[in-house]
Chains A and B, each alone.
Chain A
Amino acid sequence: MQPVDTASRLLDAGAPEIIACTVCDALHEVKEIPEGGRLRCTRCGATLLRSPGKALDRILASSFAMVILVLSALFFPFLQISASGLSSATTLLQTAFAFDSGFTAPLAFVLILLIIVLPVTRAVALAYALLPLRLGLRLLPGTKAAFRLAGHLRPWSMAEVFMVGCVVALVKIGGLARVGLGPAFWELALIVMIVALEASTFCEKTIWRMIDQKSRS
């Protein structure tokens, strides 16, 4: 990986493919990416491109898991407690509607977005954009818009942050009540691991390049 030396004719049809580092703007010639490896910026060290490897499989698997798990946790209790002979349980939907009155009511809407709507929307958008790419089919209309949407939603889909919130909440009341974990809790726990696995290999620039190449072919 060497920085490109001459500015002239960088974008000519016959010129080698170049890419700009999104962190520091340095230009690089796109050389062959070693299998399982990555190209790094020689100036700032940021990842320029990764070898695609199983990236699509991982993203698609995590998208399907996300949709199934969030939807099932909507209606099945994932946490339950009991104390002094009384007990109560909660589903994802009930949790979002915890802010049901007064000044905090708008938060219910925000919570529904952050832990239900945005994670599911992002997963569906990813599947829509990338499943045809993975299967070697023609890209669907709006593929780029769908993948752009997924990119914009990425910081705001917080299913795995919510999961950590569950653990903190359980410990907070652990001394006061008996805590039970519903089956949906373990499904949610699975989400965290799947999302973490996806995030560790996700390289937006690499996927954009694959979409671009496919859409030109």
Chain B
Amino acid sequence: MAHDRSEEPVLTARAAGLAGCGACGAVSTPGVETCPRCGNALHGRRPGSLERVWAWWFAGLIAYIPANLYPMLRTQFLGRATDSTIVGGVIDLVHHGAYLVGGIVFLASVMIPVGKFLAVAYLAISIGRHSHLSFHQRTVLYEVVEFIGRWSMVDVFVVAILTALVNLGFVMAFKPGTAAVFFALSVAFTMISALSLDPRLIWDDAEPDGAPHD
């Protein structure tokens, strides 16, 4: 990228003694509590950003454990009921030869949640420390995590659709499993965790004069 690692001196709002709004970009003098342009609370840096990131991160991780241990879906087919966990459901799909959908479910329910835990933790840990990724790469990582998190909710929707749609009595029916609740919670908690991260913290380390953290 042409603009990556530019060595030009940059003036940040904070270094200039001002406060930029994290939502709309409007610049105000410090001491102003509400952004005059958008009305959001104005913080030079979101207070307690990292603490909130970690609190929701752990909440999401704790919910993710029962989400994988309990069954996600109960399938009743010709009077026989089988429970399947998230990973079990993916294995079933692959056994039936539905590789593409198995891949989508694996991506949404396993790879994205796990990748998100790792990515958010990496971003939070790297703030204030030396990092192997450049500032620009970490910004991209942050944007990907923020964009992709909500798509994990797909699996909860699938359980709901199957339960509501397939209601053929003895022949075939689905019932939601306990894991659906924990999985939905885990997705929501990790979304809040990622949304709590103030990306400007990543770039604060790039300031050569090392203005102190708020």
Q: Please list the residues of chain A having a beta carbon within 8 angstroms of any beta carbon in chain B.
A: 3-5, 7, 10-11, 18-27, 40-46, 48-49, 79-81, 83-84, 86-90, 94-99, 103-104, 106-107, 110-111, 114-115, 144-145, 147-148, 151, 155-156, 158, 161-162, 164-166, 168-169, 171-177, 204-205, 208-209, 211-212
Contacts and interface: CB of A to CB of B under 8 A. Distances in A.
B163 A98 contact: yes
Given A94-B164, A107-B180, A172-B93, A212 B3 contact: no
- Interface centre among A24, A41, A176, A177, by most chain B C-beta atoms within 10 angstroms, is A24
Contact of B203 (A23, A89, A169): A23
Nearest to B77: A176
Contacts of A95: 160-161, 164-165
B62 to A, nearest CB: 17
A11 B3 contact: no
Contact of B153 (A27, A89, A161): A161
Contacts of A205: 23-25
Contacts of A23: 139, 199-200, 203
Interface in B88-105: 93, 96, 98, 100-101, 104-105
B153 A114 contact: yes
Looking at chain B's contact residues, the main secondary structure is mixed
B82 interface: no
A177 B3 contact: no
B172 interface: yes
A64 B204 CA distance: 41
A27 B98 contact: no
A1 to B, nearest CB: 10
B101 A168 contact: yes
B184 interface: yes
A6 to B, nearest CB: 8
A5 B105 contact: no
B29 A11 contact: yes
B40 interface: yes
B153 A90 contact: no
A19 B26 contact: yes
Contacts of A80: 165
Contacts of B96: 175
Contacts of A22: 20-25, 199-200
Nearest to A95: B164
A83 B162 CA distance: 14
A43 B203 contact: yes
Contacts of A209: 24, 26, 37
Given A26-B10, A114-B153, A175-B98, 20 more contacts: A4-B16, A7-B17, A11-B18, A20-B12, A20-B21, A20-B26, A22-B21, A22-B199, A24-B206, A25-B20, A27-B13, A43-B6, A88-B165, A95-B165, A99-B180, A104-B177, A111-B160, A162-B157, A165-B158, A171-B100
11 contacts: A19-B26, A27-B11, A27-B12, A27-B13, A90-B161, A90-B164, A161-B151, A166-B161, A171-B101, A175-B96, A176-B172
Nearest to A6: B11
B125 to A, nearest CB: 19
